[in-house]
């Protein structure tokens, strides 16, 4: 292996996703320009570049799902879709001139710390070695899909793919389609493909806690305020933070005095409502949602979790339950 001109960088960042871009901007803000971002793929964006399945969007409020140093007044709605988030990340990369520091199509195979030199050696798949004083990992956990292996899977002769590697060349119209799992990705794309397929069979192991998704488009007035009144944008972002933090208290029945005080403060700052047992409220909320959107009691039973709120990721959606009532959609739980 060959060292890359023996140059020693102040910092090397692994990955050009959200974390890597954010770190790179902050290094430049600190007047540190001797750094590299090593990116395995050919573009920035990380998970928002790789995942492109139908219905993909963020379940965190848009104005909260943005860098604090680059608030975006142009979000189209509260929960933006994948393409809009990727556009935002590309805009930040261009605005802060990060690209000259990025080496695309550069796969790191290992990193070792040399105690004799107090330097990190970064080994690349093509044989190159980079040296740096500081190593920052911006690696996510979603770049390698978990593909289950089960009996008979190798016998299937049709087209199969993981939702994280969506095959857009595969035309689903008029076909019988099976979906394994009902996690966040499935909840996102199932409503989008249900009307075009002939038959949709969904295999569910464990039902999820589902919340209504309070999505909406931002008005032109709101966009004007966010663009021309920076304080309004910061306050709105903080409001979204407080609203999201309220979910924390749904996951605990017993709280200490400090947690109870924080809960009370957040409640008073947002809705003025004193939360006594949010876990019970969410359970009741899902029961009401199921009663409203699912007429078949046996189907409601299949979709009712038997574990406490917060043990698995809570999924916000407005169209998953109604989709399961379509005549060509079947939920298999055996």
pLDDT tens digit sequence for 139-175? 988 778 888 888 888 888 899 999 999 999 999 999 9
Q: Single out the residue of 308, 289, 290 nearest to residue 299, CA to CA.
A: 290
The chain-wide mean pLDDT, for the chain, equals: 90
What residues form DSSP beta bridges with 330?
201
Provide the 10 A C-beta neighbour count for residue 18. 22
Q: Is a pLDDT exceeding 80 seen at residue 136? A: yes
Q: Which residue has the higher pLDDT, 64 or 285?
A: 64
The residues near 262 (Cβ < 8 Å, ≥ 6 apart) are none
Three-class SS state of 11 = strand
In the prediction, which pLDDT does 1 show?
Answer: 54
What residues form DSSP beta bridges with 8?
131
For residues 93 and 44, the answer to whether their CB atoms sit within 8 Å is: yes
| Ranges of H-type helices in the chain | 18-29, 47-50, 82-95, 184-193, 220-228, 230-245, 257-270, 278-293, 297-302, 320-323
Q: Where residue 71 falls among pLDDT bands split at 50, 70, 90?
A: very high
For residues 49 and 41, the answer to whether their CB atoms sit within 8 Å is: yes
In the prediction, which pLDDT does 193 show?
Answer: 98
For residues 236 and 78, the answer to whether their CB atoms sit within 8 Å is: no
In the prediction, which pLDDT does 248 show?
Answer: 62
Ramachandran quadrant class, 6 (left: phi over 0; alpha: psi -120 to 50; beta: rest): left
In the prediction, which pLDDT does 316 show?
Answer: 92
Q: Is a pLDDT exceeding 50 seen at residue 274? A: no
The rounded distance, in Å, linking the Cα atoms of 157 and 54 is: 24
Average pLDDT over residues 278-303: 87
Percent of the chain with pLDDT over 90: 75
Q: Is a pLDDT exceeding 90 seen at residue 271? A: no
Instruction: Report how far apart, in Å, the C-alpha atoms of 124 and of each of 102, 104, 118, 240 are.
Output: 14, 12, 20, 41
Complete domains list, the chain, with CATH: 2-137 (3.50.50.60), 150-334 (no CATH)
Least confident of 66-70, 192-196, 260-264, 279-283: 260-264
Q: Single out the residue of 274, 275, 272, 271 nearest to residue 253, CA to CA.
A: 275
Q: Single out the residue of 287, 317, 289 nearest to residue 305, CA to CA.
A: 287
Q: Where residue 261 falls among pLDDT bands split at 50, 70, 90?
A: low
Percent of the chain with pLDDT over 70: 88
Least confident of 149-153, 174-178, 192-196, 279-283: 279-283
Q: Is a pLDDT exceeding 80 seen at residue 246? A: no
Q: Is a pLDDT exceeding 60 seen at residue 179? A: yes
Q: Is a pLDDT exceeding 90 seen at residue 12? A: yes
């Amino acid at each position: 292996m060959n060292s890359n001109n023996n140059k020693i960088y102040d910092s090397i960042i692994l990955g050009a996703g959200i974390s890597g871009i954010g770190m790179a901007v902050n290094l430049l803000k600190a007047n540190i320009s001797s750094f590299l971002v090593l990116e395995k793929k050919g573009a920035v964006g990380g998970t928002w570049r790789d995942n492109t399945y139908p219905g993909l969007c963020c379940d965190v409020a848009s104005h909260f799902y943005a860098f604090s140093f680059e608030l975006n007044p142009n979000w189209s709605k509260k929960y933006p879709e994948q393409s809009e988030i990727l556009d935002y990340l590309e805009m930040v990369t261009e605005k802060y001139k990060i690209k000259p520091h990025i080496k695309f199509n550069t796969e790191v195979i290992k990193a070792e710390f040399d105690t004799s030199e107090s330097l990190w050696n970064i080994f690349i798949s093509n044989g190159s070695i980079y040296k740096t004083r500081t190593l920052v990992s911006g690696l996510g956990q979603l770049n390698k899909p978990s593909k289950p292996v089960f009996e008979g899977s190798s016998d299937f002769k049709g087209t199969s793919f993981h939702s994280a590697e969506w095959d857009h060349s595969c035309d689903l119209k008029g076909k019988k389609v099976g979906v394994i799992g009902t996690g966040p990705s499935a909840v996102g794309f199932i409503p989008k493909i249900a009307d075009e397929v002939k038959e949709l069979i969904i295999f569910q192991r464990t039902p999820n806690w589902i919340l209504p998704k309070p999505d909406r488009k931002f008005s032109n007035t709101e966009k004007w305020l966010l663009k021309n009144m920076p304080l309004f944008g910061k306050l709105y972002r903080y409001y979204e933070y407080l609203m999201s933090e309220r979910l924390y208290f749904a996951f605990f029945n017993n709280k200490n005095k400090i947690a109870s005080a924080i809960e009370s403060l957040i409640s008073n700052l947002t809705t003025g409502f004193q939360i006594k047992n949010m876990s019970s409220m969410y359970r009741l909320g899902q029961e009401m949602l199921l009663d409203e959107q699912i007429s078949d009691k046996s189907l409601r039973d299949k979709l009712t979790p038997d574990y406490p709120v917060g043990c698995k990721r809570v999924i916000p959606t407005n169209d998953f339950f109604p989709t399961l009532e379509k005549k060509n959609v079947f939920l298999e739980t055996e």
